[in-house]
C-alpha cells in the first residue's frame, strides 16, 4: 500500500514539473511549485509511516512549512510587486519540445540508473523521479526568459535533489548541490528585490548598459 501511494505521488510530482515547464501563467507556475513541494512532503510522510524514522517526519514538516507555504507566498508577493502575470517567451525549446526532451531525460535517467541501483524498485523509481525532476527544473531555467520563472526552475531542481536524497541518503554531494541551488535561487531573489528586475535577465542587462549609449563600457587601455 505504501509503495503504491509513493508511486502515485511520484507521478503527481512529475506532472507538476510538466506544468511548470509548459504553463504561461506565473501564478499558476508558482502554485504548481507549491503543490510539488506539498507532494514531496507527502512522500516523506508516507516513508515515515512505512519505516518510522523521525528524520523523515522532520523533513516532511519542514518541506511543508517552508517550500509548500512560505516560499510560494513570498514569490506570489514578488509577482504582485513586479506586476507581470504571464511568461510567454521561450528560449531554445518550445513547451512541446521541452516536454519531449524531459521525457527523453526521464527514460535516459532510467536507463543509466537501473544498472547502478539494485533490485529495490521503489528506491530506483524515487531516484529516477528525483533526477528527472532536476532535469526538468534545469529545462525550465534554460527555456524560460522571465527571471521569476527561472527561480521556480531552480527551486524545482532543488526539489529534485530533495526527492533523490530521500532515497539515497548519506550523500554529502547531494547536500552540496542542494546548498548550491539554494544559493543561486536566493541570489536571484535578492537581485529581483534589490534591483527591481521586472523582466528577463537579458532585458535587465540592456537597461544597465543603456546609460552608456547602449554599449558595454570597456576597460581603459593599460588600466588592467
Partner 1 sequence: MTGDFMIYAALNVAFVLLASPLFMTIIKKVKAWAQGRKGPPLLQGYYNLAKLVKKETVYSPNSSWIMRTAPYVNISVMLVAALLVPIVMIPEPAYGMGSVILFLYLLALGRFFMALAGLDAGSAFGGMGSSREMTISAIIEPITIVVFAAMSFALGTANIYEMFAAAPAMPSLLPIAGALFIILIVETSRVPVDNPETHLELTMVHEAMMLEQSGRNLALMEASHAVKQTLLMAFLINLFLPWGMAGPAGIIFGALAFLAKGVLLCVVIGAFESSVAKLRLFRLPSLFMAAFFLSALTVVMEIFA
Task: Output 40 or 75, the one with its CB closest to partner 1.
Answer: 40
Query: Residue 10, interface with partner 1 (CB under 8 A)?
Result: yes
> What string marks each residue from 33 to 62 as x (binds partner 1 by CB under 8 A) or -?
------------------------------
Site for partner 1 in 117-146 (CB under 8 A): 121-122, 124-125, 128
Could you tell me the smallest distance in angstroms from the CB atom of residue 11 to partner 1? 6
Burial string for 30-56 (b: 16+ CB within 10 Å, else e) reads bbbbbbbbbbbbbbbbbbbeeeeeeeb
Provide CB contacts within 8 A for 79, sequence distance 6+: 26, 27, 30, 85, 148
* Residue of the chain from 63, 102, 146, 199 that contacts partner 1 (CB under 8 A): 102
Segment 89-98 long-range contacts (CB within 8 Å, at least 24 positions apart): 89/144, 89/145, 89/146, 89/200, 90/143, 90/144, 90/145, 91/142, 91/143, 91/144, 91/145, 92/142, 92/143, 93/139, 93/142, 93/143, 95/21, 95/22, 95/143, 96/22, 98/21, 98/22, 98/139, 98/143
Q: Which stretch binds partner 1 (CB under 8 A): 46-54, 58-66, 93-101, 192-200?
A: 93-101
> What string marks each residue from 17 to 36 as x (binds partner 1 by CB under 8 A) or -?
-x---x--------------
Task: Output 99 or 168, the one with its CB closest to partner 1.
Answer: 99
Query: Residue 107, interface with partner 1 (CB under 8 A)?
Result: yes
Q: Which residues bind partner 1 (CB under 8 A)?
A: 4-5, 7-8, 10-11, 14-15, 18, 22, 95-96, 99-100, 102-103, 106-107, 110, 121-122, 124-125, 128
Amino acid at each position: 500500500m505504501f509503495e503504491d501511494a509513493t508511486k502515485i505521488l511520484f507521478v503527481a510530482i512529475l506532472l507538476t514539473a510538466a506544468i511548470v515547464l509548459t504553463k504561461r501563467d506565473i501564478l499558476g507556475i508558482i502554485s504548481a511549485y507549491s503543490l510539488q513541494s506539498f507532494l514531496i512532503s507527502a512522500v516523506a510522510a508516507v516513508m515515515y509511516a512505512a519505516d518510522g524514522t523521525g528524520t523523515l517526519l522532520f523533513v516532511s514538516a519542514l518541506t511543508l512549512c517552508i517550500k509548500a507555504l512560505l516560499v510560494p507566498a513570498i514569490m506570489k508577493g514578488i509577482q504582485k510587486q513586479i506586476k507581470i502575470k504571464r511568461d510567454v517567451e521561450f528560449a531554445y525549446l518550445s513547451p512541446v519540445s521541452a516536454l519531449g526532451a524531459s521525457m527523453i531525460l526521464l527514460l535516459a535517467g532510467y536507463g543509466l540508473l537501473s544498472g547502478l541501483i539494485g533490485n529495490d524498485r521503489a528506491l530506483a523509481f524515487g531516484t529516477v523521479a528525483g533526477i528527472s525532476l532536476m532535469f526538468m527544473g534545469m529545462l525550465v531555467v534554460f527555456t524560460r526568459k522571465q527571471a521569476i520563472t527561472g527561480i521556480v526552475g531552480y527551486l524545482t531542481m532543488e526539489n529534485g535533489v530533495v526527492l533523490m536524497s530521500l532515497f539515497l541518503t548519506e550523500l554529502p554531494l547531494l547536500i552540496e548541490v542542494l546548498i548550491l541551488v539554494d544559493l543561486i535561487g536566493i541570489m536571484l531573489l535578492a537581485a529581483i528585490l534589490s534591483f527591481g528586475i521586472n523582466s528577463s535577465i537579458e532585458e535587465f542587462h540592456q537597461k544597465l548598459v543603456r546609460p552608456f549609449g547602449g554599449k558595454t563600457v570597456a576597460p581603459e587601455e593599460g588600466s588592467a
